[in-house]
Amino acid sequence: MKNFKNRFLPTLALALGLAISGCSSDDDFERLDGDDPTPTPEGTELNGNLEDDRVLDASEIYNLTGVYSVESGATLTIPAGTEIVADTDEDATGVYIVVQKGGMIDIQGTSSAPVVMRSSNGERGSWGGLVIAGDAESTAGVDATAEVGGIIYGGSNSEDNSGSIEYLVLSDAGAQINSESQYNGISLYAVGSETTIENIAILNGSDDGIEFFGGSVTATNLYLENNEDDAVDWTEGWNGTITNTYVLHSIENFSTAIEADGVDGNPTIENFTAVSSTGGVALQFKAQSGATITGLSLSGYDTALDIAEETRTDLSGIQLNGATAELDLDYSEAQTVDPAMFDWVDNRGRVSVLPGTIDEDFSLDGNSEYIINGVVSVEEGATLTIPAGTKITARSDDNDDGTSIYLVVQKGAMIDIQGTEEKPVVMSSTSGAPGSWGGLVIAGNAETTAGIDATAEVGGIIYGGDDPEDNSGSIEYLILADAGAQINSESQYNGLSLYAVGSETNIENIAILNGSDDGVEFFGGSVSATNLYLENNEDDAVDWTEGWNGAVTNTYVYHTIENFSTAIEADGVNGNPTVENFTAVSETGGVALQFKAQSGATITGLSLSGYETAIDIAEETRTDLSGIQTEGETATLEDTYETDATVDVAMFSWVE
């Protein structure tokens, strides 16, 4: 049968292969060639010194084959839709575009036709990106020499203008010169405040996404994905502003979302949302550098704030969300930047972190991937809608305590999982280890022997009432894997935990796999479930207690692991639930059905195969089995119930 192992890791684009083109003009420019530059006619090859204004043409694809230098007094204009491809056959450190001090660039992209700069092979670090040198102030001084290319930058004009950049997608940059010097996606050396930078996406870099070396330039609407060093870096007293920044990390071993170094120019950061599916450090401040950051939202990082200088005790220069920074806060506020504002970036990684509290109707995007880093609670009155094809992953590793990572639908809230056979919704963990998260918990207002407003054994969740027809929503075509985190020896999460869920709730076509506790457990209530596939859950496949009186129909249980508990465990007061067409197969023996206390059921279509014990009565004093009806008769301990399968496993072929 299928040994489903969902090792979902977000799959992100490493290169942009957009069918967009660029152009040429008839002006001449000089090629950089040692000390003896020679003129070269313009064409689709970019290489050399641009000393006169030039406008590219969006009907050609441009090949960047070396250093293309926009000299002082010249302007390079790049119209919407232009594509520039860096030649990766050359030394990566010698392939970049530089706007020299006094030169200008005018990138005229639009949301429907951004300008694209990328490498020919799509590998990170395979070219040097875009470098701009300005005449604003830097602590490096006037006419300082950049760490890359010997470029001269810096002056005294804070309002210097190096041009305009709008709607640019730049990928694969960050060529390494040596261990101390690297190119970035965009390197801004003493660039002044009259320069316009907005709507920029920097992807798949081997060093920083964007780095500010002094200057006073401001940047707005930045999308920074999987740059291996820092997403945003500044030094040399940069004092500008960045507004509306979204950082995504789904790779291991990146450095930070922000690295700040050097003298404190007190730059302003407004609305900064950073998301990691792999942990790591979010913000790092070195030396005395600081910032005023408002609208900070961090999700998924192991460390929110790191102070690199051990001797630094005064954090007053680092203002985060209106207060002095604190090392023990995680800054896991609601996202302040919606990644959908960057939908103009084709093939961007669509990964978001689900908010901890959902207190109004909230719909996910079926084309996106979502991370759970903690408890996600759908509050009373709210509905969480999950479209077909959505993937939700609990961020955990083999050593994590998964009890703090789960999705709960509170009493009075609703969930609407809209999976299909072709596109099921998938919930799993990053580690793929059984018990690495708490699964899906639903609390309802139906009846339970625990009473009204009882407290669940997990999460202190309140459940139970007097409405057997209570409706907690609908679940269709859901694959749920790796759940069952252990609280203690008596309390555990399951794959799907149903607390007093009512009969108007719809549950059908569910697969629960690789759990360390029960697949599905009913704590009272009257909900029914149809078409269940339960594979290798280490405790019970189906468990009920507290007088559950609903039904399960068309259930297939598969055991290939040792030391599971049972296919069914029934406990507590007998609500006489109905079990129709229940096929369970074991390759390792074990117990099939166990009934505790006075709990029973009416079972038809029972087929057991491979179990050493068909029915086990846990209470030795129980002699009356009349509450356990199988095929219209009172159950017997002698019968093996080894009949032909009543559920065809092929009906679960949608479970990949």
Tens digits of per-residue pLDDT, 306-327? 998 777 888 999 999 999 999 9
| pLDDT at residue number 489 | 67
| pLDDT at residue number 22 | 34
**Which residues lie below 8 Å from residue 346, measured CB to CB, with a gap of 6+?**
16, 18, 169
| pLDDT at residue number 332 | 84
Helix (H, G, I), strand (E, B) or coil at 248: strand
Q: Write out residues in the chain with pLDDT < 70, as ranges.
A: 1-42, 397-401, 489
| pLDDT at residue number 2 | 38
What ranges do the domains of the chain cover? 46-342, 387-393+420-652
| pLDDT at residue number 29 | 29
Within a 10 A sphere around the Cβ of 157, how many other Cβ atoms?
A: 15
Check if 46-342 and 387-393+420-652 are the same fold. yes
Distances (CA, A) of 504 to 280, 543, 550, 576, 615: 43, 20, 11, 19, 31
CATH architecture under which domain 46-342 falls:
3 Solenoid (2.160)
Structure tokens at 286: 């070195």
| pLDDT at residue number 186 | 98
Structure tokens at 197: 């930078």
CATH number of 387-393+420-652: 2.160.20
Distance, in Å, from the CA atom of 223 to the CA atom of 348, rounded to the nearest integer, reads 9
Structure tokens at 263: 């003298």
**Which residues lie below 8 Å from residue 301, measured CB to CB, with a gap of 6+?**
257, 274, 276, 279, 280, 281, 282, 330
**% of the chain with per-residue pLDDT over 70:** 92
Contact between 377 and 408 (Cβ < 8 Å): yes
pTM for the model stands at 0.77
| pLDDT at residue number 400 | 56
Contact between 485 and 452 (Cβ < 8 Å): no
Give residue 48's Cα distance to chain centre. 42
Which residue from 418, 333, 350 is spatially nearest to 384, judged by alpha carbons?
A: 418
